[in-house]
Chain A
Amino acid sequence: MSSTFALARPRMRKGTGMILPALVLLLAFFVVPVALLLSRSVTEPELGLQNYRELLASGTYAKIFFNTFLVAGLVTLITALLAFPVAWALVIMPRLLAGLLFAIVLLSMWTNLLARTYAWMVLLQQTGLINRTLMQFGLTSEPIPLVNNLTGVTIGMVYIMLPFMVLPIYGVIRKIDPAILQAAALCGATRLQALGRVLLPLAVPGIASGALMVFVMSLGYFVTPALLGGTSNMMLAEMIAQQVQSLVNWGLGGAAAFILLVVTLSLYALQLRLIGEPKGTA
């Protein structure tokens, strides 16, 4: 990430004015409303930190925070495992096939989110296609609960997040000279060693930026967990929506949003330190 900054830096001064419209837009429609909501977290129902105390003291909210991190972590891990082979395939496949695979990855990203989430609902429910097929082949006698629980949320979110992991990994490993793997083989490395000690370390920046993106997006995700999850594995975004929309308790909703924002920014800072800088100096 830092290396792109390094490239962009000399040209930045001239173009600075051009970011003004985007900056104004962000300020007016993002920064100001967020600041207002956050200010309510320390002023409603009265001045003070009572909303934060309530959030941190309650076992229920602790569980919601835990759920949020659990889902985000699981989704990040599984997408990384799935995305790496896909990204590698995109690099080494013949151009036509790679193009097709690319189209499949992107097409899923461009299809309406709600439509895709409802589609999963239909597939995963007790009387859905998956359970019916499993029962027909006698693999299970009872339908397996695949939706309204952690399984449903994880499946749905992994599917939605996959492109956000594939693209950064692809971006990094396609720049790796394939000859490096031949070199590894010539030096006597097995295929597994070549993967683990040559390819993977070189792909780390891509995996890391993909992982950060997926993890952060997952932390704040609303639609998919709300539709495919059960209430006992509620995530933070749904709780914030509940507080703001149904209970009209902006103080508590704002406090939860603030904590989410701090966590996100800290993760981003951490990633810049861990991944960004070493690569920049390399």
Chain B
Amino acid sequence: MKSRIFALAAAGLLASQAAAAEDMVFTSWGGTTQDAQAEAWAEPFTAESGINIIQDGPTDYGKLKAMVEAGNVAWDVVDVEFDYALQASNQGLLEPLDFDVIDRESLDPRFTSDYAVGSFYYSFVLGYNPAHFSGDAPESLSDLFDLEAFPGKRTFYKWSAPGVIEAALLADGVPADELYPLDLDRAFAKLDTIKSEIIWWAGGAQSQQLLASGEAPIGFFWNGRLTALQDDGMDVGISWDHNITAADALVVPKGAPNKEAAMAYIAHATSAEAQAEFARLSSYAPINLGSPELMDSEIRATLPDAQTAVQVNADMAYWAEHRDEIGNRWYAWQAE
């Protein structure tokens, strides 16, 4: 009798383990971005492979490091900022990606490394509420930093990341091809001139709220968030002049429990179709070179892809190397 119960229990255990092997965890930033990732990537992937994807979030670098160090990793694929991905791979926190499974050739080389492939890319762009500026409309990054011509609150991304520092330097007259190494003293001096008028946005939804409510009639936004406001019928001005690209990356933490599934999922998520579908849902740009031709020309026109002539690529390798140094200085400056 006892042994039968034991056998039953063992069988149950095996069954539950088999079920667990069909699951993997994808962690991202929540909100509309992760909703779009679930719809464009996870659902079709599950339908195709039978591997169930558990959505977790938000991404937390402290947690990621703690999991890897403790050898108890709960996340299989994580959406992180691209510069962090490069830094984390240098620190040995990531698994190398399996390019027998993932088609590296088809991906934008700007957003590909041995340990990370782009999740999507976006541009920081100047956005404004036209109703607020009766005279000339703001056109360039210099206008964004010009309190006399364009008075009022302006909103910028709160966290230390590629984008705002570059914008300050470009507005101050640094040529795009001489941005790196970043002249932080000059950047903060430029930012100081508008600091009293800055409202920081900590997330995409907040940036939209600030612009739509008129709290900050001008600012520096992720392009997709402005398109979304336009889709909702709001009149939003966008200047693509010196739009600054940055990207998110898909990575696999070292010791992830379902590595194979993770690679298969990344291969699927970065495929031309999945990237095109995500771009359609989110207005962020695809990192698969084959995606644009799958998309409506109308949607393609709203993507950073269409603005490469006036585009500046943030140097992810530079950021990966100086991330902590810039971050410490950034937060200290904010708190001053």
Query: Interface-forming stretch among B164-172, B244-252, B323-331?
Result: B323-331
Chain B positions 65-96 with a Cβ under 8 Å from a chain A Cβ: 65
Q: Is the CB of A245 within 8 A of B200?
A: no
Q: Answer whether residue B153 sits at the interface, using C-beta atoms and an 8 A cutoff.
A: yes
- Bound together, the chains give a CA A235 to CA B213 distance in angstroms of 27
Count chain A residues whose beta carbon lies closer than 8 angstroms to a beta carbon of B: 22
Q: Is the CB of B327 within 8 A of A239?
A: no
Which A-chain residue is minimally distant from B199 (CB atoms)?
Answer: A148
Count chain B residues whose beta carbon lies closer than 8 angstroms to a beta carbon of A: 23
Q: Is the CB of A234 within 8 A of B335?
A: yes
Q: Shortest Cβ distance from A250 into chain B, in angstroms?
A: 7
A127-B213, A249-B324 known; A60 vs B62 contact (CB < 8 Å): no
Q: Is the CB of B62 within 8 A of A127?
A: no
Which A-chain residue is minimally distant from B216 (CB atoms)?
Answer: A126
- Bound together, the chains give a CA A226 to CA B331 distance in angstroms of 13
Residue interface mask B139-182, A partner, CB < 8 A = 1: 00000000000000100001110000000000000000000000
Q: Answer whether residue A246 sits at the interface, using C-beta atoms and an 8 A cutoff.
A: yes
Which residue of the partner chain, among A58, A125, A232, A248, contacts B213 with CB atoms under 8 Å?
A: A125
Which residue of the partner chain, among B60, B199, B335, contacts A64 with CB atoms under 8 Å?
A: B335
- Bound together, the chains give a CA A182 to CA B199 distance in angstroms of 55
Q: Which residues of A contact B61 (CB under 8 A)?
A: 245-246, 248
Residue interface mask B228-246, A partner, CB < 8 A = 1: 0000000000000000000
- Bound together, the chains give a CA A234 to CA B158 distance in angstroms of 13
Q: Is the CB of B328 within 8 A of A247?
A: yes
Q: Answer whether residue A202 sits at the interface, using C-beta atoms and an 8 A cutoff.
A: no
Q: Answer whether residue A116 sits at the interface, using C-beta atoms and an 8 A cutoff.
A: no
Residue interface mask A244-269, B partner, CB < 8 A = 1: 11111110000000000000000000
Q: Is the CB of A250 within 8 A of B62?
A: yes
Q: Shortest Cβ distance from B64 into chain A, in angstroms?
A: 8
- Bound together, the chains give a CA A127 to CA B336 distance in angstroms of 27
Which residue of the partner chain, among A126, A226, A247, A250, contacts B153 with CB atoms under 8 Å?
A: A126
A60-B332, A63-B336, A231-B335 known; A126 vs B214 contact (CB < 8 Å): yes
Q: Which residues of A contact B62 (CB under 8 A)?
A: 244-245, 248, 250
Q: Which residues of B contact A242 (CB under 8 A)?
A: 331
Q: Answer whether residue B321 sits at the interface, using C-beta atoms and an 8 A cutoff.
A: no
Which residue of the partner chain, among A60, A226, A248, A249, contacts B336 with CB atoms under 8 Å?
A: A60
Residue interface mask B188-227, A partner, CB < 8 A = 1: 0000000000011010000000000111000000000000
Which residue of the partner chain, among B60, B158, B324, contacts A245 with CB atoms under 8 Å?
A: B60
Q: Which residues of B contact A239 (CB under 8 A)?
A: 331, 335
Q: Is the CB of A232 within 8 A of B214?
A: no
Q: Is the CB of B324 within 8 A of A125?
A: no
Q: Which residues of B contact A249 (CB under 8 A)?
A: 324, 328
- Bound together, the chains give a CA A248 to CA B61 distance in angstroms of 7
Q: Which residues of A contact B63 (CB under 8 A)?
A: 245
Q: Is the CB of A232 within 8 A of B160?
A: no
Q: Which residues of B contact A64 (CB under 8 A)?
A: 335
Q: Which residues of B contact A244 (CB under 8 A)?
A: 62
Q: Shortest Cβ distance from B1 into chain A, in angstroms?
A: 34
Q: Answer whether residue B334 sits at the interface, using C-beta atoms and an 8 A cutoff.
A: yes
Residue interface mask A106-128, B partner, CB < 8 A = 1: 00000000000000000001110
Q: Which residues of A contact B324 (CB under 8 A)?
A: 247, 249
Residue interface mask B89-107, A partner, CB < 8 A = 1: 0000000000000000000
Q: Which residues of A contact B331 (CB under 8 A)?
A: 231, 239, 242, 247
Q: Which residues of A contact B334 (CB under 8 A)?
A: 231-232, 234
Q: Shortest Cβ distance from A64 into chain B, in angstroms?
A: 6
Q: Shortest Cβ distance from B128 into chain A, in angstroms?
A: 16
Which residue of the partner chain, among B200, B214, B327, B335, contacts A246 with CB atoms under 8 Å?
A: B327
Which A-chain residue is minimally distant from B214 (CB atoms)?
Answer: A127
- Bound together, the chains give a CA A64 to CA B333 distance in angstroms of 12
Q: Is the CB of A246 within 8 A of B336?
A: no
Q: Which residues of B contact A246 (CB under 8 A)?
A: 61, 159-160, 327
- Bound together, the chains give a CA A34 to CA B336 distance in angstroms of 29
Beyond A148-B199, A232-B334, list 17 extra A-B contacts (CB 8 Å). Answer: A60-B332, A60-B335, A126-B214, A230-B199, A232-B336, A234-B334, A239-B335, A242-B331, A244-B62, A245-B60, A245-B62, A245-B63, A246-B61, A246-B159, A247-B327, A247-B331, A249-B328
- Chain A residues with a Cβ under 8 A of chain B: 58, 60, 63-64, 125-127, 148, 226, 230-232, 234, 239, 242, 244-250
11 interchain pairs, CB-CB under 8 A:
A60-B332, A64-B335, A127-B214, A230-B199, A231-B158, A231-B200, A234-B335, A244-B62, A245-B61, A245-B62, A250-B62
